[in-house]
Structure 1
Amino acid sequence: MANKKGRRRFGAVRKLPSGRWQARYVGPDGLSHPAPHTFPGKRDAEQWLSVVEGEILSGDWLNPELSRVLLGDYGRAWLKERKVSQRTREEHTSVWRNHVEPFLGRYQVNEIGPELIRRWRAELLEKGRSEDRTAKAYRLARSMFATAVDDGRIKRNPCRIKGADQHRTPERPHASIDEVYRLADVMPPRYRFLVLLAAFSGLRWGELVALQARDVDRETMLVRVSRKIAQMKDGELVVGPTKSAAGVRTVALPRFLDEDLAAHLPEFAEPGREGLLFTGKRGGILRRGNFHRETDWARTVVKAGLPKGFHFHDLRHTGNQMAAEAGATTRELMQRMGQSTVRAALIYQHATSARDRQIADELNARVERYRSSKRGDPDDGSAASMVPIG
């Protein structure tokens, strides 16, 4: 706006020798900021200043200097400052280096809009990236831009493609009780209890191999999960916190596992309360690669009657499925499996709920019924055999 003497109240415009007009203003930071481009006429420049003035008055103004940073520079700093586990940092760095930075890194953050994001995502898929990797790249970029919004560098996150953060994962197989026991029976004795515990607790590989003897209470049949072991791409083993805060939990175990646990502890666990529950053939932390070689996993699962390509992680899926069949609600499953979307009241729960104990007891009844049928024992009408299993 101009006053009676023809001078503007906010900002200033001037005509350049080229005939185009330039605009500049003093921002809330007390510094002079020029428009990012020139204008064909005086009125165009003044209208632009009016828009900027409105943004300042409404509190929507962003310092244009902050938004002119290259995404390449901003993304590298974001990765460095992000507080995540070493394994997650390694994964984020790989996704950034291979799928995000090569296409988007050369643009300033304020130059990247929804159209460019759509083009980038389409190019990833056209070049043969899987839906899984493309979704991971999209989620990483979206997180970076969300931080840029919080930093006052951009007004709105350009990652707004509905469903782009998801991918269709083929349904993984899960084993029946009979298949779990057949697999455990053909395992080397050292790993029999590992298979059973994975199937009937739903713990992740990294959580299982980090367990110490003190983490399992045989009297109450509870297992405390408070750490995990991650194997980096260079082979380094890193002991650290669970995948998320929700991973710190106590899980009730079916009581039938005590028999195998009692046999496993003196024979294969390290001595002492802080000794590892599971170790490799030569001692020390159990590595996934060594486990697969020592068990000849690919052939052994087929020998046990499981489908070719059955993964160790599918035993976790098996435990989840069995707990669901035992009557666990979605919320109870999320707690039992250590999912990060559990509400805060459940994330830090230190004692297993009565319902979780019931889930474990129902699992116990299902397996005891199966084992009795294999032995040919008559149904004695005991309370255990009469627990509903539907």
Structure 2
Amino acid sequence: MASYRRLPSGLWQATVWLPSGKRITHTDKFKSRVKVWATEQEDKIAKGRRINPNAGRITVGQWHMKWWPARVVEEETRRGDDAQLRLRILPYWGEWPLGEIGRIDVQTWVRTMEQQKVGRQAIRRSYNLFATMLGDAVLEELIQVSPCQKIDLPATPPKAPSWFTRAQVDEIVWRLPATHAAMVELMCYTGLRWGEAAAVAGADREDETGNPIDWLRGRIKVRGSLTQYGKWKQYPKTSSSRREVPVPRHVLDMLAPLLEGRAVDAWVFVAGRRSPKTGERPTLSGANFRVVWYKAIDAAAGDGVEVPRYDVHDCRHTAASWLVQQGVPLYDVKALLGHSSIQTTQRYSHLAPDAHDAVEDAWSKIIAHQARMAASGS
């Protein structure tokens, strides 16, 4: 059923809920017009619900066989989605007819995953994928309405970013091969994501792949990234992630030797072994990089050095944390990291040296006032 409300601007807005669970709105200065629009939309929805009653007998497993090949997502997203389907969706839902799944059945599934101690993020990812799968079934007129509506999901409270101290990074870098060490230093100072750092090239390439280094200016132009398997993507994470970042001179001095004996525009970070197929040294593998990374951290622990076992991505958090602690404004950090919203950068605001100055100043005044009152005998 449509709902109506008057906006602060004085305009009227009508909201209509689609069978898929999504909503559409229409705004006009006359309430009568938005009512007419809403009625037309509801008529269209009602007509669209006259579907073949046998369509709902198709099982989730059968629908998956048709839906999965047509799904258009990034390679890495597809790999993660495939894991969710194999582990949590198809084993539970595979034999269920689409038309027999109700909202309470979906809620029971979510609750079952919680009882099985599945991680909160994994539950949300599995649910969102299943909701997309059933939403597309609605569009294909296999079912009338998606049962994935008003489902209570486990809360995922925000987690404070993890970061390394300079001394901890030194302990890790000292135990890494030269290529990996240079890449870690680059990420810890510039905040590049792993895929952005892996895509750094010695100079601009003719095919416009890679993130080229401007050696004279000490800058890297970030215009894309590499996947975990070395596939070039024409963009980083978001459009705002396209940026130019400064690079400290000591990091450039670590990068330059990695290009010796190779083309000036070659990928900077490549594997030590040559590919048996092409005879060339391929770009680094994300999985292998993490193996070497954790091996270095574990080696430090074996030597009695306390280094937290954080992920490689925490090098990015480290870059932001170091800068904020030195008083760099959040908007400058946002530009360096390529965040699309300042709210993302504000996760580091508590590290600013003046973060609590106002509070501490107020405490000083309160304590001083108490001391004066006590001295006067009041």
Q: CA deviation at 1:112?
A: 2.0
Structure 2 residue 310 is matched with structure 1 residue 316: no
Where do residues 265-276 of structure 1 align in structure 2 (5 Å cutoff)? 265-268=256-259, 271-276=262-267
Secondary structure at 2:46's aligned position in 1? coil
Structure 2 residue 253 is matched with structure 1 residue 262: yes
Change (3 A) 1:314 1:190: same
Q: What CA deviation, in whole Å up to 9, does each residue of 1:321-358 have, x standing for no partner?
A: 3455522249x73x65456x669xxxxxxxxxxxxxxx
Change (3 A) 1:270 1:118: farther
Aligned match of 2:297: 298
Q: CA deviation at 1:69?
A: 3.3
Aligned match of 2:214: 217
TM norm structure 2: 0.62
Change (3 A) 1:305 1:113: same
2:223 and 2:234 in contact (8 A); partners too: no
Distance in 1, matches of 2:336 and 2:63, equals: 38
Q: What CA deviation, in whole Å up to 9, does each residue of 1:136-182 have, x standing for no partner?
A: 11111122233334444445432234562763576552013444345
Figure out how many residues of one structure are paired with residues of the other and give that number.
Answer: 281
Aligned match of 1:64: 51
Q: Pick from 75, 84, 87 the counterpart of residue 95 of structure 1.
A: 84
Structure 2 residue 125 is matched with structure 1 residue 125: no
Distance in 2, matches of 1:338 and 1:166, equals: 27
Distance in 2, matches of 1:208 and 1:229, equals: 11
Aligned match of 1:328: 330
Change (3 A) 1:89 1:58: closer
Secondary structure at 2:162's aligned position in 1? coil
Structure 1 letter corresponding to 2:83: S
1:174 and 1:315 in contact (8 A); partners too: yes
Q: Which runs of 5 or more structure 2 residues have no equivalent in the other structure? A: 1-39, 204-211, 274-280, 343-378
Q: Pick from 226, 229, 232 the counterpart of residue 228 of structure 1.
A: 226
Aligned match of 2:374: none
Q: Pick from 149, 153, 158 the counterpart of residue 164 of structure 1.
A: 153
Where do residues 1-390 of structure 1 align in structure 2 (5 Å cutoff)? 57=43, 59-61=45-47, 62-65=49-52, 66-161=55-150, 164=153, 167-168=156-157, 171=160, 173-214=162-203, 215-218=212-215, 219=217, 221-231=219-229, 237-242=230-235, 244-246=237-239, 249-254=242-247, 257-268=248-259, 271-282=262-273, 283-288=281-286, 290-291=288-289, 296-300=295-299, 302=301, 307-325=307-325, 326-329=328-331, 333=334, 336-338=336-338
TM norm structure 1: 0.60
Structure 2 letter corresponding to 1:252: V
Distance in 1, matches of 2:236 and 2:155, equals: 20
For the pair shown, the structure with the greater C-alpha radius of gyration is 1
Change (3 A) 1:308 1:327: same
Percent identical pairs in the alignment equals: 17
Q: CA deviation at 1:315?
A: 0.7
| Coordinate RMSD, CA, aligned | 3.6
Secondary structure at 2:282's aligned position in 1? coil
Structure 1 letter corresponding to 2:316: R
Distance in 2, matches of 1:145 and 1:122, equals: 19
Structure 2 letter corresponding to 1:122: R
